């Protein structure tokens, strides 16, 4: 099994001004492509050959296979959750109900999620995930880790590695994170919650 780059559902310049074409070209075109290439070179001949990306991330010990698989999975979630002109800026249906139940309101959820992403020390990811009972959790994952490792279902993520925003925002991580809310494709996130 070879791992492939996710196909972006938008042009490289379509997320501007939130995410520039230059950032997509580097972040997606170079960083993610390197993780995909590395994973395809590392997996053959190991116990992970023939496994899905999710199986590798959930079970691999820390090390090169896990690091690269985690980055491929995380970036795939990240890039596929955006839309240039989202039809709406809030979730609907069961996900919206769960957010109100577990965080009090959508605005409070956004505040808590943004705070988690802003305060993550170093490189990593902020995640919204659901447990087996449908309860929502916000977690901070270092480097290439993913909530799958804790038995959670990942729904939404913000990448806080500097390469995700530095070309556009320099050291203004909080400004970048605030801008991301305007390009979330909520139907994609809702589908992950089903």
In a domain, 8, yes or no: no
What was the pLDDT predicted at 161?
A: 76
Reading the block at residue 43, the tokens are: 């997996």
In a domain, 12, yes or no: no
163 annotated ligand binder? yes
pLDDT along the chain (194 residues), means of 10: 91 96 93 95 94 94 94 96 93 97 97 94 93 96 92 95 74 88 97 93
In a domain, 2, yes or no: no
Question: How far are the Cα atoms of 41, 59, 74, 99 from residue 190, in angstroms, in the given order?
Answer: 34, 26, 17, 11
Which structural domain, as residue segments, surrounds residue 31?
19-194
159 annotated ligand binder? yes
In a domain, 6, yes or no: no
Cα 55 from Cα 67, distance rounded (Å):
13
CB atoms within 10 A of CB 133: 5
Distance from first CA to last CA of the chain, Å, rounded?
Answer: 27
When divided into structural domains, the chain yields a total of 1
CATH number, position 68: 3.55.40.20
> Hey, is 153 helix, strand or coil?
strand
What was the pLDDT predicted at 123?
A: 86
Among positive and negative, which fits the CA dihedral 9, 12, 15, 18?
positive
What was the pLDDT predicted at 72?
A: 96
What was the pLDDT predicted at 113?
A: 96
CB atoms within 10 A of CB 54: 13
> Hey, is 80 helix, strand or coil?
coil
137 annotated ligand binder? no
Cα 46 from Cα 66, distance rounded (Å):
12
What was the pLDDT predicted at 73?
A: 96
> What is this structure's pTM?
0.92
């Amino acid at each position: 099994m070879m791992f492939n780059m996710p196909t972006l559902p938008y042009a490289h310049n379509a997320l501007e001004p939130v995410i520039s074409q230059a950032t997509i070209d580097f972040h997606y075109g170079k960083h993610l492509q390197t993780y995909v290439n590395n994973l395809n070179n590392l997996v053959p001949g190991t116990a992970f050959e023939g496994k899905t990306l999710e199986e590798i991330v959930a079970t691999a010990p820390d090390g090169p296979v896990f690091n690269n698989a985690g980055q491929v999975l995380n970036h795939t979630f990240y890039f596929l959750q955006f839309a240039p002109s989202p039809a709406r800026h809030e979730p609907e249906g069961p996900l919206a109900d769960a957010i109100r139940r577990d965080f009090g309101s959508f605005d409070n959820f956004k505040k808590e999620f943004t705070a988690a992403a802003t305060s993550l020390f170093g490189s990593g990811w902020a995640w919204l995930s659901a447990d087996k009972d449908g309860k929502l959790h916000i977690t901070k994952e270092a480097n290439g880790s993913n909530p799958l490792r804790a038995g959670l279902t990942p729904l939404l993520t913000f990448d806080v590695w500097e390469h995700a925003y530095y070309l556009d925002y320099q050291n203004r991580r909080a400004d970048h994170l605030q801008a991301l809310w305007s390009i979330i494709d909520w139907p994609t996130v809702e589908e992950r919650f089903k």
